[in-house]
């Protein structure tokens, strides 16, 4: 991956795969012109919380939100042009309870959680885009690939049902962008969500979503985070977008940086604004 402007002149410490694969860096004005009047629905793990925060702070220049909750539905205004607004809805899928973890796609076994999700798609207006992600919590919950395949099929069938209901009401279906799970880094490479397992789980989820005709675009966050997964300089193990900590980390070095997640935010805007 390379950068499609002057930043591309800089040497990279790992993010140059080919000269023909690049992404645009968005200014705040360009990003707002793209996102205005849109409703973006995020469904994934807490990496989405970090990406939303970094897009708000560093791309959209909205600096009054230090942390994005696991469940939030908010209208955001452009401080330079208040007539421009975008709606971000973020629903965590690591657990049916927003404070829990390690359930992943099994969260959909909870009836109340399913109804919570359906509620955002049952009105006369539905999200323009759904950004999906799953994997890290699945890596802990599902010890068997065979069982995970069943869980992924159930998740895909759930979203297919949601889309069928939207279609029956004559509304435009949301575009679906799937972000593969990040490559766990440093110490986390040895845990239940190790990179080998996550690569396999990413493939299973995508196969199931495609089988139900649900995926419009795929952003391979696994592949793009892989060059930095050998240590914790750009991640805390499972997040690439957490704010840096000026503390000694597990390897004795200072903190980590969120450069990678910020770039992933620009990649996401390329997908959102490419049409």
Whether the per-residue pLDDT at 9 is higher than 70: the answer is no
Q: How far apart are the first and last CA of the chain?
A: 20
Average pLDDT, the chain: 91
* pLDDT on residue 257: 80
For the segment 169-196, the average pLDDT, to the nearest whole number, is: 97
pLDDT at 275: 66
pLDDT at 2: 47
Please report the pLDDT score of residue 111 as a whole number.
99
Closest C-alpha to 40, from 179, 243, 180: 179
* Span 28-63, pLDDT tens digits: 999 999 999 999 999 999 999 999 999 999 999 999
Is it the case that residue 3 has pLDDT exceeding 50? no
Percentage of the chain modeled with pLDDT above 90 = 80
pLDDT reading at 17 higher than 70: no
Give the domain ranges of the chain. 27-272
| 37-69 core/surface letters (b: 16 or more CB in 10 A; e: else) | eebbbbbbbbbbbbbbbbbbbbbbebeeeeebe
For the cut 90, the answer to whether the pLDDT of residue 147 exceeds it is yes
pLDDT at residue 6, as a whole number: 47
pLDDT-derived band at 10, boundaries 50, 70, 90:
very low
- Specify the pLDDT at position 258: 87
Cβ neighbours of 79 (radius 10 Å): 14
Contact between residue 140 and residue 102 where contact means Cβ atoms under 8 Å apart? yes
Q: What is the pLDDT of residue 246?
A: 73
pLDDT in the model for residue 274? 84
Q: What is the mean pLDDT of residues 164-180?
A: 98
Looking at residue 50, its pLDDT comes to: 96
DSSP 3-state assignment of 262?
helix
Residue 77: pLDDT above 70? Answer: yes
Look at the domain 27-272 and name its fold.
Rossmann fold (3.40.50)
Q: What is the pLDDT of residues 82-141, one digit of tens each?
A: 999 999 999 999 999 999 999 999 999 999 999 999 999 999 999 999 999 998 999 999
pLDDT band at 253 (very low <50, low <70, confident <90, very high): confident
Q: Which of 13-17, 66-70, 204-208 has the highest mean pLDDT?
A: 204-208
């Amino acid at each position: 991956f390379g950068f499609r402007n002057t930043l591309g002149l800089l040497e990279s410490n790992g993010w140059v795969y080919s000269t023909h694969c690049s992404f645009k860096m968005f200014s705040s004005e360009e990003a707002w012109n793209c996102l205005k009047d849109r409703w973006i629905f995020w469904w994934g793990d807490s990496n989405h919380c970090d990406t939303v925060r970094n897009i708000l702070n560093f791309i959209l220049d909205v600096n009054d939100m230090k942390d994005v909750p696991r469940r939030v539905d908010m209208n955001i205004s452009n401080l330079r042009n208040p007539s421009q607004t975008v709606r971000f809805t973020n629903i965590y899928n690591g657990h049916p309870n927003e404070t829990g973890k390690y359930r992943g796609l099994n969260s959909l076994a909870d009836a109340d959680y399913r109804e919570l999700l359906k509620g955002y798609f049952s009105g006369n207006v539905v999200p323009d885009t759904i950004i999906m992600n799953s994997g890290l919590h699945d890596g802990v919950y599902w010890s068997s690939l065979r069982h995970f395949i069943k869980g992924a099929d159930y998740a895909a069938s759930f979203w297919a049902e949601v889309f069928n209901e939207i279609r029956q009401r004559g509304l435009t279906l949301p575009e679906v962008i799937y972000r593969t799970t990040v490559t766990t880094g440093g110490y986390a490479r040895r845990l239940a969500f190790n990179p080998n397992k996550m690569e396999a789980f990413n493939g299973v989820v995508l196969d199931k979503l495609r089988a139900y005709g649900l995926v419009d675009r795929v952003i391979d966050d696994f592949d793009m985070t892989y060059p930095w997964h050998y240590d914790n300089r750009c991640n805390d193990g499972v997040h690439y977008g957490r704010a840096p900590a000026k503390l000694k980390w597990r390897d004795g070095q200072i903190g980590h940086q969120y450069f990678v997640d910020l770039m992933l935010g620009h990649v996401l805007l390329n997908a959102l604004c490419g049409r």
